[in-house]
Amino acid sequence: MSARGNQGFTLLELVVGMVLLALALVMITGVLAPLVSQQREPLYQVRAAELAQALLGEIAGRSFDEHSDRSGLTSNNRYRYCGAILLTELEESSGDCTDPADYGPDGESHDQFNDVDDFNAYCPSQGGSAISGDTYASLRGLDPTLYAHFSLTSCLSNAPQWLGGSGRTDLAKRYQVTVTTPSGEALPFTGYRSNY
């Protein structure tokens, strides 16, 4: 047996090996790091869809307008809605629909919102402000920690084209809910409510 065979690695060989290992780790980390951040996006999108569905469902469950007849029947047992065209003297109207310039809550807090227009409180472009995801989750009985750093907006507009464009602007309303994820992605969701 030679004396060279019993020797270990030289200091130079160890340093070169450590440098090569460090370079390999840097390259592997550089490839994997973006993948880790991309794995959050589907989770954010699912949570955004949950928040949007909750808000869309809540809006759809409210009256079309503040002036809608919420009792369902007039004194002569005919259904009436705001902006109704009266066909006989016996019919009753619940009045004109709210002007789009007046969309927003009528002094109510979120838990007292009774018509679609009230949700314009969350429309920044129309004088409202976005609601944070954790605040909205708390209002709906969801775990607020799952929706921290999300935000929601809800903007309302008339949608006469939805019902055939009859020229009347009080036949349908379009509400656009936008959920912004913690990564800054804005996901829009749209719903319609007709006047009946």
pLDDT in tens, the chain (196 residues): 455 556 778 888 889 999 999 999 988 888 877 766 666 788 899 999 999 999 999 999 888 888 776 665 555 555 567 776 655 555 555 567 888 888 888 888 888 998 899 999 999 988 889 999 999 999 988 899 999 999 999 999 888 766 665 566 777 889 999 999 998 999 999 998 887 6
pTM of the model: 0.72
> Phi/psi class of residue 80: alpha, beta or left (left: φ > 0; alpha: ψ in -120 to 50)?
beta
Query: Sign of the C-alpha dihedral, residues 136, 127, 155, 148?
Result: negative
Nearest 10 degrees: CA dihedral of 167, 122, 111, 169?
0
CB-based contacts of 137, cutoff 8 Å, min separation 6 = 51, 143, 144, 146, 147
**Backbone dihedral angles phi then psi of residue 77, each to the nearest 5 degrees:** 60, 35
